[in-house]
Amino acid sequence: MFSILKNSKNIRLYFIIVLMLWLTGIPDLFMDQTSSPNINVRPAKASISRESSFNLFTTEDYVKVSHPNYKSQVIDVKKQKSVRLEPLLFLDLEQDKTFYVNDIPIHFQAIPEAMFMMGSIKEKREQPVHKVYINPFRIMEHEMTWEIYQICIAENVCPENEMNINETKKHPVHSVSWEQITNVFIPWFNRKTRSKFRLPSEAEWEYVAKANSNTQFSWGEDVGVNNANCWGCNSKWDYKITAPVKSFTANKFGVYDMHGNLWEWVADCFSSYEHSPRDAYPQQDIGCDRRVLRGGSYKFKPTYMSTSFRGRDKPMIKSNGDGFRLAQG
């Protein structure tokens, strides 16, 4: 063997093979996969499983903590020695559900438990690519519309806001800040529906946008014709006005308008993915001065509406290119 390794090409090949074997699982042979890390968990009978696929290419040691009727969490036991699971508020999250505001139906699509690769190598702000666990949740099948938001205005809860010329009640509402959505609209919407909603996390949003695809858009790599509303999407609304919700084909999850039309606020602070949650919980940094926007808009080019592109803005900013949709779970 040593005579073979005298050749420099063979030496390089040998080390490449060793490195590939190491990265694809040899460390797991030296790790007791059944042992439980020494961490405090609540509820006490929660199960702990080491997630080797989360630990690939990292120095972290991730485990998944789960219990029936609680939201699972994935934590790095090198940094976190205790975890308290949140009880599930809804036990039927794997079923679609329709809610009503003044007899107007708002449909939410069920998204089952899953794991996916988040991010991309195209932009620094989208790196590193990392695996994320998704708890079951529901997401609004289209962006929030003027039809619903105007009721909030009429009841003197939401601040005054006007539609653009040629917009109808079926167009998505815009010019609402992250702060207005979270502090004013959502509490009102919760009271009207007698339920509980929130903005989706950035990870939940990206998972739904990808809809089990590995391409730039849920339908493929090319923007195509009339698949969305953006500057260069080849629709009749491009760079002019928002399109009425559900004007384009839904993705494989049955969700509309995840690309283009309006940027969508999500719950997260804008921060690096280096230490982002691996369980789709939103990043909430102390002193957060930027919130994440996703999906691009009718005024932006196709690049900005890719499934992984990350926009950002101050949480008090209101823009006619920004809207939102709600999630539950």
- Per the CB < 8 A criterion, the answer to whether 265 and 324 are in contact is yes
CATH number of the domain that residue 318 is part of: 3.90.1580.10
The verdict on 103 and 248 lying in the same domain is: yes
In a domain, 92, yes or no: no
The verdict on 176 and 250 lying in the same domain is: yes
The verdict on 80 and 170 lying in the same domain is: no
**At a CB cut-off of 8 Å and minimum separation 6, what does 189 contact?**
101, 148, 152, 197, 326
In a domain, 19, yes or no: yes
pLDDT value of residue 152:
98
Best CA proximity match to 297, nearest among 325, 258, 254, 268: 258
Better pLDDT: 278 or 58? 278
In a domain, 171, yes or no: yes
Q: What is the pLDDT of residues 141-162, one digit of tens each?
A: 999 999 999 999 999 999 999 9
The verdict on 3 and 111 lying in the same domain is: no
The verdict on 46 and 122 lying in the same domain is: no
The verdict on 51 and 108 lying in the same domain is: no
The verdict on 125 and 160 lying in the same domain is: yes
Q: Structural domain of residue 20, as residue ranges?
A: 1-30
Better pLDDT: 197 or 14? 197
For the chain, the domain total comes to 3
Q: What is the pLDDT of residues 228-244, one digit of tens each?
A: 999 999 999 999 999 99
Q: What is the pLDDT of residues 119-130, one digit of tens each?
A: 999 999 999 999
The verdict on 111 and 159 lying in the same domain is: yes
Best CA proximity match to 24, nearest among 64, 71, 47, 57: 57
The verdict on 46 and 109 lying in the same domain is: no
pLDDT value of residue 18:
41
**At a CB cut-off of 8 Å and minimum separation 6, what does 246 contact?**
141, 142, 256, 257
The verdict on 59 and 172 lying in the same domain is: no
